[in-house]
Amino acid sequence: MINAPLPPRLRPLANNLDLQPFYGDIHNHSDLSYGHGPFPDALKKAALQLDFVSVTGHAHWPDMPVDDPSVAHIVDFHVKGFAKLRAGWDDHFDALRSAEKPGAFAVFPGYEIHSNAHGDYTIVLADLDGGPLCLEDTPDELKNALRQTYGARAMAFPHHIGYRQGRRGINWNTFDPDLSPFVEMNSMHGCAERSESPRGYLHSMGPVDGHSTMAHGLALGKVFGIVGNTDHHSGFPGSWGHGRMAIYAPSHDRNAFWDAMLARTTNALTGDRIHLLTAINGTIQGGVIPATADATLNIEAVAGSAIDHIDVIRNGRLVHRISPALTPSPVDPAQPDETLIHLELGWGARGSCHHWDGSLEISGGEMLAVEPRFRGPEIVSPLEGEDTGHPLPRISASGNQVDFAVTAEANPNNTTSATQGLMVRARLDADTIIRLRFDGQTVEVPASRLTEGALSGNLGPIDTPAWRLHQLPRPEEWQWTGDIPLGTLEQGESVYVRLHQDSGQMAWTSPIFVR
């Protein structure tokens, strides 16, 4: 039930194409190099929420500014982190192999190379057999070294692409689709879809430059998929809200996952396990189709909360906007009582934290699936603080009850959320009661109350930790399927889809290219 795949009735388009979505994070950090959080614990945290993972080590920076005394403190922790990874690289494969659970959880080795000139790249290996670090100074040299060492079983992709070229943002002039099937468009750094975004770059490295965006790469005629990853630096792969990726594959199999990555059948996500599939004449996102005189775009969306809108972007321009509130079209209209129960935990006095150990139970109806929405702390550089040392989160489900234990930090300011949560997909009866238990308290809420709006409470007086049950969405609010006529598609065009939820969570498909 935890992270259960969507049933075929909620993904008929995907099912007809013999595909289903799987969710992962292949760019994140721990104490394997510089970073926080024990590497073995990072693998355990990843398995709570993800279908696949790669825990990344920092390895190399050929044009590091070693002669600039003003950044000597930055150079210092990078040099130490690189050395730590190189010393532990061979042995870390044992932990990766131990964490692999065939059919349930796939693990890929990975590391990263910084570069001012070419942008930062994450290298991912297909197999757990072991092998050396290929540390090269340019994408071309890196591709040659990976091919000689690993054949077709290695790739590399640019990440946090939005920084300006020359300052560790993407260099589209040296981007090579044979090395990089996709680019990392969204992460904890922010969103680099286009110049303007609700998820701007806020890291000390600087803002987004328009020529380093996904939109600019498409305008140049580049062919690439897109992904999101967390780039989390505190040992919490898949940290909710920091970025994730989806792939579309026939089954839960590491080789199928690898093939899907190479084929660019990928999505970028912010956090929720959103299913967003597009197809033109049976070719899904990331694919290439010939020019055609009468194209139709098929869209299938199953979101993690109510959908605000779905946008169709053609050649960089918004050409169609879907609002399920105005044009409802649920994927499965035969289940009008199916809904999403989102429990959010956190708040409290600044600088404090609270360990939530409790349960959510429904009396009446049926619990169908549980999605953890756990996140790690907001620590990036070793200069920003130490590992929090919070215990590993726990979550389990049986029957109509889910039990959980997770530590939530208080929100550090009025614009940054640090809450933890979980979502339950369920069918509810007219008289269903949702029962919460934590800290010796029991709260009983009629599901009918949550159709009217969210309900919140505190554990004590003002400034104590708080909980929130979000408003229950109807199926026509969190599902949408339909066909969008595109007319003639000509050589050189691209089409992709962006989904935005009322909650602020988002998903993007890789483009479909006309070539």
Interval 104-151: pLDDT, tens: 999 999 999 999 999 999 999 999 999 999 999 999 999 999 999 999
Q: How far is CA 212 from CA 80, 159, 229, 501, in A?
A: 29, 11, 18, 26
Query: For the chain, which residues make up each domain, given as ranges?
Result: 18-271, 274-332+474-515, 338-473
What homologous superfamily is domain 18-271 in, according to CATH? Metal-dependent hydrolases (3.20.20.140)
State the amino acid at position 121 in one-letter form. Answer: Y
C-alpha count within 13 angstroms, C-beta hemisphere, residue 376: 34
Q: Which pLDDT belongs to residue 382? A: 75
State the amino acid at position 255 in one-letter form. Answer: N
Spatial distance between the Cα atoms of 136 and 117, rounded to a whole number of angstroms = 13
pLDDT at 381 over 80: no
Q: Which pLDDT belongs to residue 383? A: 67
Average pLDDT score over residue span 211-228? 98
Average pLDDT score over residue span 147-174? 98
Q: Which pLDDT belongs to residue 428? A: 97
Write the DSSP string, 27-85. Answer: ----TTSSSSS-HHHHHHHHHHH-SEE--EEEEE-TT--TT-GGGHHHHHHHHHHHHHH
Q: Which pLDDT belongs to residue 274? A: 98
Lowest mean pLDDT among 176-190, 340-354, 379-393: 379-393
pLDDT digits (tens, 9 = 90+) for 31-75: 999 988 999 999 999 999 999 999 999 999 999 999 999 999 999
Q: Which pLDDT belongs to residue 380? A: 76
CATH class of the structural domain 274-332+474-515? mainly beta
Task: Name, in order, each residue with C-beta under 8 angstroms of 169's C-beta and a sequence gap of 6 or more.
Answer: 119, 160, 161, 162, 163, 209, 212
- For residue 314, what pLDDT band results from cuts at 50, 70 and 90? very high
Q: Which pLDDT belongs to residue 379? A: 75
Average pLDDT score over residue span 263-279? 98
Query: Which of 239, 193, 251, 189 lies closest to 218 in space, CA to CA?
Result: 193
**Token pair 């090579």 is at which residue?**
176
Do 187 and 159 meet the contact criterion of CB atoms below 8 Å apart? yes
Fold agreement between 18-271 and 274-332+474-515 = no
pLDDT digits (tens, 9 = 90+) for 483-502: 999 999 999 999 999 999 99
Average pLDDT score over residue span 362-384? 90
Percent of the chain scoring above 90 in pLDDT: 97
Q: Mean pLDDT for the chain?
A: 97
Burial class (CB in 10 A: 0-12, 13-18, 19+), 18: exposed
pLDDT digits (tens, 9 = 90+) for 191-217: 999 999 999 999 999 999 999 999 999
First CA to last CA distance, the chain: 42
Q: Which pLDDT belongs to residue 388? A: 79
Average pLDDT score over residue span 301-315? 98
Percent of the chain scoring above 70 in pLDDT: 100
Q: Which pLDDT belongs to residue 374? A: 98
What's the whole-model pTM score? Answer: 0.97
